[in-house]
Amino acid sequence: MTQKVKNRGWVVTFSGTGINLALGILYTWSIFKGAIKQAIEAGGTGAFNWKLVQLNDPYAVCLLVFAFSMILAGKCQDRFGPRITAFIGGILVGLGFLLISQTTSYALWIVGFGVLVGAGIGFGYSSATPPALKWFSPERTGLIAGLVVAGFGLASVYIAPLSQYLLRIWGLQSAMLFFAIAFVIVVCALSMLLVNPPAGYVPKSRVKAGKAAPSAKAQGDATPSQMMKTRAFYTIWFIYFIGAGAGLMVISSVAGMASKSMGELAFLAVAILAVGNAAGRIIAGLLSDKIGRKATLIIMLTFQAILMLVAIPAICSEQSSALLMVLLATFIGFNYGTNLSLFPSLTKDKWGLKNFGINYGIVFTAWGVGGFVMGRLSQMLFAKYGNYTSSFWTAAALLIVGAILTLTLQTKKAKEVKR
């Protein structure tokens, strides 16, 4: 029985990783955006009659809907379990891609990709991490969270070249139809493997009595209202807004940024960024289990700010280096990815597992708002100035503010929750 339960934990973990490997198509938006831009410029019957400033809008709306649907999805996950929640997510994503495969309408792409796909990703994503964390002891929180969410970051490694291939042989609409069918099958099938541990299950700790990892202190459970009465919640929310927004700003446009130096191979920058994205989630999770979430977060935010400043002359130069572009994509992706394992781990550490689904759903709204604001702002600034200089300066300044705010975080939850 013990062996069966132990094995179930890893099955749940890697099923969640598999679901995220499908849902991570969100990070391939820059390739779809490039295809839409080409269609706008080509014109003709059935063309995308959009304004250039609108190119990021379906992506930005998707981020926002994804984030806020995590609240409802988290409540669904806490009440009905991860299996039903993930299944709903698979159906919604499939319907969204089905809709956009049949139209070039800006409004319908907002509904299809922005609303339906965004909500579907929220339901699928929210159901992947909580059951996995429940199977393992607290000192492995960072590792398990990192492994599950790594799938989301790693998705572009295969989706980017696959999308490029499908766009070339089938066109945008048929490629979207392919993804509609594929994601329903994959997400709904893997959802059947997601299960919480049995009642009363206590995971075996690998830490000796009297010792604890910096991020594995015993914590009680807080309700959403208790969590939102703490100063820590608002501090963490704003730091997440900054860290996620800066990374998503780059991800939404990385193919366009790389096209100057890499030409038709610009999709490789998307795939390489995804490798860094996934690695950042796992390594930050492991590191934060050893030195604590706070120290890890300060390191990553500071490093990301430096990268944003380095990116300004590299990307805006008329003769930008392909090698430098690849390195920047890798490390910016790495630092962005750290957010997606550090913040669920922080939420679990500070406010417990009982209401983790809805609590992290509320915290995760920072990710969506950050992506929406920074993505939209970046596209507006690019449309106005023709380069990304202002976007990177803004992101760097905000990341420094985020690192400073992280210094104010308290590491013990007991003082934070108001009973």
Q: What is the pLDDT of residues 40-50, one digit of tens each?
A: 888 766 678 88
pLDDT at res. 111: 97
What does the pLDDT look like over 297-313, one tens digit per residue? Answer: 999 999 999 988 888 77
- On the question of pLDDT at 21 being above 70, the answer is yes
Distance CA 342, CA 331 (A): 17
**How sure is the predictor about 414, in pLDDT bands with cuts at 50, 70 and 90?**
very low
Greater pLDDT, 373 or 177: 177
* Sign of the dihedral through C-alpha 379, 273, 334, 125: positive
pLDDT band at 145 (very low <50, low <70, confident <90, very high): confident
For 325, the token pair is 């572009």
Which residues, in sequence order, are CB contacts of 159 under 8 Å at separation 6+?
Answer: 24, 25, 27, 28
**What domains are there in the chain, each with its CATH number?**
7-199+217-406 (1.20.1250.20)
Q: Rounded to an integer, what distance in angstroms lies between the CA atom of residue 181 and that of residue 97?
A: 9
Over 50: is that where the pLDDT of 416 sits?
no
Contact 128, 146 (CB under 8 A): no
pLDDT of res. 419 = 41
Predicted pLDDT at 49: 85
Measure CA 175 to chain center: 23
pLDDT in the model for residue 110: 96
pLDDT digits (tens, 9 = 90+) for 90-100: 999 999 999 99
Side-chain-facing half-sphere of 227: CA atoms under 13 Å? 26
- For residue 406, name the pLDDT band (cuts at 50, 70, 90): very high
* Gap between the Cα atoms of 272 and 256, Å rounded: 14
